[in-house]
Amino acid sequence: MTNAFSPSRLAIHATLLFAAALYLVPLVVMLLTSFKTPEDVRASNLLSLPDVFTLIGWVKAWDVVGGHFWNSAKMAIPAVLISTAIGALNGYVLSMWRFRGSQLFFGLLLFGCFLPFQTILLPASFTLGKFGLANTTVGLVLVHVVYGIAFTTLFFRNFYVSVPDALVKAARLDGAGFFTIFGRILLPMSVPIIMVCLIWQFTQIWNDFLFGVVFASGDAQPITVALNNLVNTSTGAKEYNVDMAAAMIAGLPTLLVYILAGKYFLRGLTAGAVKG
Q: How much is the pTM?
A: 0.84
Share of the chain above pLDDT 90, in %: 34
The per-residue pLDDT for 78 is 96
Give CA–CA dist 62/209, Å, rounded. Answer: 19
Q: Residue 266 — very low, low, confident or very high, per pLDDT cuts 50/70/90? A: low
Which of 53, 74, 91 terminates a domain? The answer is: 53
The per-residue pLDDT for 180 is 87
Query: CA dist 9 to 2, 12, 17, 81, 168, Å?
Result: 10, 5, 12, 43, 47
Distance, CA of 134 to chain centre? 23
The per-residue pLDDT for 234 is 61
155 shares its domain with 74: yes
37 shares its domain with 75: no
Backbone angles phi, psi at 135, to 5 degrees: 60, 35
Helix (H, G, I), strand (E, B) or coil at 100: coil
17 shares its domain with 122: no
Q: Residue 276 — very low, low, confident or very high, per pLDDT cuts 50/70/90? A: very low
Model confidence at 268: pLDDT above 60: yes
Nearest to 229 by CA among 71, 70, 76, 68: 68
Query: Tens digit of pLDDT for each residue in 22-44?
Result: 988 988 999 999 999 888 888 87
Which is more confidently placed, 50 or 1?
Answer: 50
Give CA–CA dist 262/201, Å, rounded. Answer: 13
132 shares its domain with 10: no
Contact 220, 135 (CB under 8 A): yes
240 shares its domain with 262: yes
150 shares its domain with 252: yes
127 shares its domain with 257: yes
| Structural domain harbouring 236 | 58-274
Model confidence at 1: pLDDT above 80: no
119 shares its domain with 40: no
Number of structural domains (the chain) is 2
Q: Residue 81 — very low, low, confident or very high, per pLDDT cuts 50/70/90? A: very high
114 shares its domain with 191: yes
Model confidence at 117: pLDDT above 90: no
46 shares its domain with 73: no
Burial 136-149 (b: 16+ CB within 10 A, else e): bbebbbbbbbbbbb
Nearest to 144 by CA among 112, 175, 172: 112
39 shares its domain with 70: no
The per-residue pLDDT for 101 is 79
How many Å is the maximal CA-CA distance in the chain? 76
Helices in the chain by DSSP H: which ranges?
Answer: 7-34, 38-43, 56-96, 102-110, 121-130, 137-160, 165-173, 178-181, 191-206, 210-215, 223-231, 240-271
CATH number, position 188:
1.10.3720.10
Query: Tens digit of pLDDT for each residue in 14-24?
Result: 899 999 889 88
The per-residue pLDDT for 175 is 80
**Over residues 115-132, mean pLDDT:** 87
The per-residue pLDDT for 171 is 83
* H-run or E-run covering 45: none
6 shares its domain with 87: no
Q: Residue 270 — very low, low, confident or very high, per pLDDT cuts 50/70/90? A: low
